[in-house]
Chains A and B, each alone.
Chain A
Amino acid sequence: MKLTDQFRFVRQNMKKNKTRLFMTVLATAMGCSFLIVLASVGFGLQKSIVDKVVGDRMVTAIDIYGIAAKDQVNTSMDQTNIEYLRSIDHVKTVTYRNYILQNLNPSVEGTAVNSNGAVNVDFVAEAKAGFALASGRLPQNGSEVIVGYNIRESLDGNKPNTEPPSAKEWLSKTMNLEVEQLAKDGTKQSKTIPVTIVGIGQKPSREWQTDTKVYVGNEILTEIESFTQTQWGEKRILADKENKDNPAGYEPLGLQDPRQYREVQAIADGANHVKAIAEEIRVQGYYSHSIADELEQVNLVFLIMKIGLLFVGTIAVLIASIGIFNTMTMAVTERAQDIGIMKAIGAHPSAIRRIFLIESSMIGLLGAAIGTIVAYIISIAVNAGLPLIIEGFMDEKVPQDFIFSWIPPYLAIISCLISLAVALLSGSRPAKRATRIDVLRALRRDL
């Protein structure tokens, strides 16, 4: 018997008692909707509270201290190490921070700036990692930079109880960076690179810390290095016999030499993946540390919470399954004679069972589809309405973007699968009963 014919039979059968079918689908839809909405509250709260806390870079970042190398730890990472870290599953991005190895003497509007150095960062990676800004934005082209929150502190310190002017006022202003190099013939060369300040870094979390760095992207680094012809813009020292400290001079690494990266961080795409990533790189000989690494039970807590909510919701679907079982049992009883006739002329028991299983799964799927749509509507209504109710009746202010209910697509899929599985389970016994209908009793209308 062809599948299309089985579906035709099911469609004909379902049309026979529309009211009963409607009530059964309604019960299933309510069960499925309850399951999704209940679980969505867990997912929503997790998204709003837990993910906001543990999704912070502080927790998702894994500091790579170095890599094991012949009885010592190599604290510099090369390009291969960076590529490897990027290739690990659930690593969102890899960041690094390297100091420009000379004082660039930054100045704004002709005034020298109190900066404790310029740092090269990969802004594309930083955008993914979540570079915290107090104001402004991340650079979008090669001549833009970010400055530290305390960049405007005066060179001789601030007077007690006085706040330095806000760095925010420097947004969009041009900063000049002075690059110097000593040519091999001893000639001193310099170049001014004008850059635009587009963002201000976040205030350091600890009171005693200050951030007066200038964060430059890879394009500016390239400009600096192409001028100095050395890695990280480092200045050379010429050989000088009269220089007692360093008579041989110093030639920094050239642009052709392998590049080393420092302050490398691998950023996980969620706090729950940090542990697995840390374990994987540890096996490869990396030394690493993360705050989330110490929160060993974080995965377990998330898992138990989600399973618990799904379990409670599944009970609602199981209650709905009683309706499906009842409907299918009635359907088998009502169609006993028809089933008997079909068996009498050669219908295979498995074909009969399949017809009833298709019917119960159609009820389950129909209920699940309607339930999912209703759940999404309820979820939107809850997110829109609940803050208003809380603000109106409880004098509490709900934080902006707070989500009470969130339905990730996989929750909807899991719920539909649960509904389908429960429907199949409910229909399996009546379907089996249908295959056991006695042909003679059915033909005698004795059922």
Chain B
Amino acid sequence: MIEMNQINHQFTIGKKGKERVIPVLHNIDLQVKQGEIVAIVGRSGSGKSTLLNLMSGYIRPTSGTIHLAGQAVTNMSEGEWANFRLAHLGFMFQSFQLIQSMTAFENAELPLVLKGVGVSQRKKRVMEMLDQVGIADYAGHYPGELSGGQQQRVSVARSLMLNPPIVLADEPTGSLDSDNERQLLALIRHLNQDRGTTFVLITHDEQVASVANRTITLKDGHLLTAAPAKGGIHSYEAH
């Protein structure tokens, strides 16, 4: 489902003529199978978010190739990426990333609007999804009127609205209390089992990592381990 080969990535900072190159990822080889839940763990600055951003197409690798859902995405144009995201990817963010001037309904509806789905069909699907994540009663509320847990549910509803085969989640429980965290993880597990959705989760939280089939550890831009959730740890050689 996700295949990254020999991915290297570096950032260039500083003014022109005094640029400094900061390597972030080194020779990453990673495969995620369909229906897997993979947790990427590691310390701050280890390159976890960069790895997820590469999968999302928000940044392009310095070298290496990426295949998502069987498509080579490395050299896709902005427009192609937009279409690809809409068709194949769902996103959960730590800070929810809801549009403040839109109601919970409108935020959740956004992927359907972008896809060009008709109004009546949209209304039905959004209400079903909001109901599924337990936030239907707050459909007319603006994000500022919702708690963190409620906002994350709207964000989850939005990410799952088009039934994406892959969901990329960056610290999805980072802003949630333990109750909400537990509910979200239960939902992730349910969707994975029910629909076969592939999840890539970035987390610091061991409880989050525990729902994964596999945990990948990054250290200083190197991929260290790939461990089955309930099994022995397989060590990769650091590249």
Contact = CB atoms under 8 A, between A and B. Distances in A.
Interface of A: 1-2, 5, 12, 16, 338, 341-351, 435, 439-440, 443
B86 interface: yes
Given A16-B101, A346-B86, 6 more contacts: A341-B97, A341-B98, A343-B82, A348-B83, A443-B95, A443-B97
Given A1-B113, A12-B101, A443-B97, A345 B59 contact: no
Contacts of A345: 85-86, 91, 110-111, 114, 158-159
Interface in B79-122: 79, 82-83, 85-87, 89, 91, 93, 95, 97-99, 101, 110-111, 113-116
11 contacts: A1-B113, A1-B114, A12-B101, A343-B82, A344-B91, A345-B111, A345-B114, A346-B114, A348-B82, A349-B78, A440-B59
Nearest to B50: A440
B56 interface: yes
Contacts of A341: 97-99
Given A5-B113, A12-B101, A440-B59, A348 B79 contact: yes
Nearest to B80: A348
Given A349-B78, A349-B79, A349-B82, A342 B56 contact: no
Contact of B56 (A12, A338, A344): A344
Contacts of A342: 99, 110, 114
Main SS of chain A's interface residues? Answer: helix
B114 A351 contact: yes
B99 A347 contact: no
Nearest to A13: B101
Contacts of A348: 79, 82-83, 114
Central interface residue in A341, A350, A351, by most chain B CB within 10 Å: A341
Q: Which range contains the number of B residues in contact with the other chain?
A: 20 to 34
Q: Binding site of B, secondary structure by majority: helix, strand, loop or mixed? A: helix
B79 A350 contact: yes
B1 to A, nearest CB: 18
A347 B82 contact: yes
A338 B86 contact: no
A346 B116 contact: no
B58 A440 contact: yes
B86 A344 contact: no
Nearest to A5: B113
B115 to A, nearest CB: 8
A436 to B, nearest CB: 9
A443 B158 CA distance: 16
Contacts of B113: 1-2, 5
Contacts of A344: 56, 58, 85, 91, 97
Interface of B: 53, 56, 58-59, 78-79, 82-83, 85-87, 89, 91, 93, 95, 97-99, 101, 110-111, 113-116, 158-159
Contacts of B87: 346
Contacts of B59: 440
A439 B58 contact: yes
A443 B82 CA distance: 16
B165 to A, nearest CB: 14
6 nearest interchain CB pairs?
A: A346-B86, A346-B85, A348-B82, A439-B58, A338-B99, A341-B97
A346 B82 contact: yes
Nearest to B118: A2
A338 B101 CA distance: 9
Nearest to B97: A341
Tell me which of B97, B101, B115, B158 has the highest count of chain A C-beta atoms within 10 A of its own C-beta. Answer: B97
A1 B78 CA distance: 16
A338 to B, nearest CB: 5
A440 B82 CA distance: 15
B36 to A, nearest CB: 22
A57 B180 CA distance: 90
Contacts of A351: 114
B83 A2 contact: no
A364 B105 CA distance: 32
A309 to B, nearest CB: 44
Nearest to B82: A348
Contacts of A2: 113, 116
Nearest to A348: B82
A443 B93 contact: yes
Nearest to B112: A5
Nearest to B78: A349
B25 to A, nearest CB: 15
Contacts of B82: 343, 346-349
Contacts of B78: 349, 435
A338 B98 CA distance: 8
A346 B101 contact: no
A425 to B, nearest CB: 23
* Listed residue (A12, A343, A351, A443) with the most chain B CB atoms within 10 angstroms of its CB: A443
A1 B56 contact: no
Nearest to A8: B113
A106 to B, nearest CB: 81
A2 B116 CA distance: 5
Nearest to A4: B119
Nearest to B88: A346
A234 B97 CA distance: 99
Nearest to A347: B114
A440 to B, nearest CB: 5
A343 B110 CA distance: 11
Contacts of A443: 93, 95, 97
A423 B224 CA distance: 56
Nearest to B49: A440
A347 B85 CA distance: 9
A408 to B, nearest CB: 42
A5 B79 CA distance: 19
A435 B82 CA distance: 11
A346 B164 CA distance: 12
Nearest to A444: B95
Nearest to B107: A341
B76 to A, nearest CB: 13
Nearest to B93: A443
A435 B91 CA distance: 20
